[in-house]
Structure 1
Amino acid sequence: MSFNCFVCGKENPKGLKLDIKLKDGFTYAEFSLDKDYEGYPGIIHGGIIAAILDDMMANVKFLEGYILYTVELNVKYLKHCLINEKLFAYGYPKETKHNIFQAYGEIKDKNGEIKATGLGKYFIKEAYK
């Protein structure tokens, strides 16, 4: 399935094109962003960090074959994510009740320090596989 998603879509010329992988029930991706995604000088814009966390969490279910929509997203910014810094993003399932999937996400630096975390709730619309 091909998408124009800003975060993970390979066909979006303005997107981040993160290569999100699913392994053992969680998602992960490695990335580094340039000045095009800067907020304050030298720092990745907080909205970009939120979008990455949202995608990491949603893709836990999407990569298993489900269409889902964000209904709630909470982000905590613990440390600045710097331009051109190698970062690692993760998404972990928490629980599913009825059609609501809850997940936890985090972004870490190369030393394993957590830079940002997210909690997300997603409405599972349907399976596509």
Structure 2
Amino acid sequence: MSYTVKELKEFIKSNPPIPNNYSGYCFGCVNPSGLELEFWRLEESLFTFYNIPPKFSGFQGLGHGGIIATLLDEVSAWTISVNLNRLGLTQNFAVNYIKPVYINTDIVVEGKIGANDDTHVIVHAHIKDMSNKILVESNSTWSLPDKKSLARLFHIRLEDVEEVYRSFFGPIKKYFAKI
């Protein structure tokens, strides 16, 4: 289900954002030069509000297409992490730019799991304006590697992957246990 902007705004009034204890330098959430996104979950929908700053503009006041895609990719990744307690890796990412997304304009980015099994997940995401018009949509397929595969990919020890899982997912699990 997709919620209206009014419903999402009402939800965040009484719910703090999901904690982010990721230890890396993720462009979407913790990098000070990046998007610095905060996320909320309402039932199965994961969402964030954003306003594209001029430093991320494309041509003549439009949000840069790569930044728009990054917003969708990031909400998709967090949709997986929060709903499945797994780290996902983008395999295929299709974006449909329907209407312009302007800088200095409030938007909502929302994601939802489409289908999943033990090794893959499909995520549907979209960006809408404050009048609930869909501006951009994405469908993406993600692999769900096990921890040993992540250790090989990241060139770190399995124990370090375990620590990433504990430090990142532990606070998220506690957050949802309280609400």
Displacement, 1:126? 3.5
Displacement, 1:67? 1.2
Displacement, 1:7? 1.2
Which ranges in structure 1 are unaligned for 5 or more consecutive residues? none
2:118 is the alignment partner of 1:120: no
Aligned to 2:37: 18
Q: Secondary structure at 1:63's aligned position in 2?
A: helix
Alpha-carbon RMSD: 1.4
Aligned amino acid, residue 29 of structure 2: C
CA distance, structure 1, for counterparts of residue 61 and residue 138 of structure 2: 22
2:127 is the alignment partner of 1:102: no
Q: Secondary structure at 2:33's aligned position in 1?
A: coil
CA distance, structure 1, for counterparts of residue 49 and residue 119 of structure 2: 30
**Contact 2:77/2:87 (<8 A) preserved:** no
Identity of aligned residues (%): 24
Aligned to 1:72: 92
Displacement, 1:23? 2.6
Aligned to 2:77: 58
Q: Secondary structure at 2:144's aligned position in 1?
A: strand
Aligned amino acid, residue 6 of structure 1: F
Tell me whether 55-64 or 71-80 shows the greater mean CA deviation: 55-64
Runs of 4+ in 1 over 2 A off after TM superposition: 126-129
Return the structure number with greater relative CO, CA threshold 8 A, min gap 6.
1
2:45 is the alignment partner of 1:5: no
Larger radius of gyration: 2
CA distance, structure 2, for counterparts of residue 27 and residue 4 of structure 1: 21
**Contact 1:8/1:20 (<8 A) preserved:** no
CA distance, structure 2, for counterparts of residue 61 and residue 105 of structure 1: 12
TM-score normalised according to structure 2 size: 0.67
Aligned amino acid, residue 43 of structure 2: D
Q: Secondary structure at 2:80's aligned position in 1?
A: helix
Which ranges in structure 2 are unaligned for 5 or more consecutive residues? 1-20, 148-164, 170-179
Displacement, 1:18? 0.9
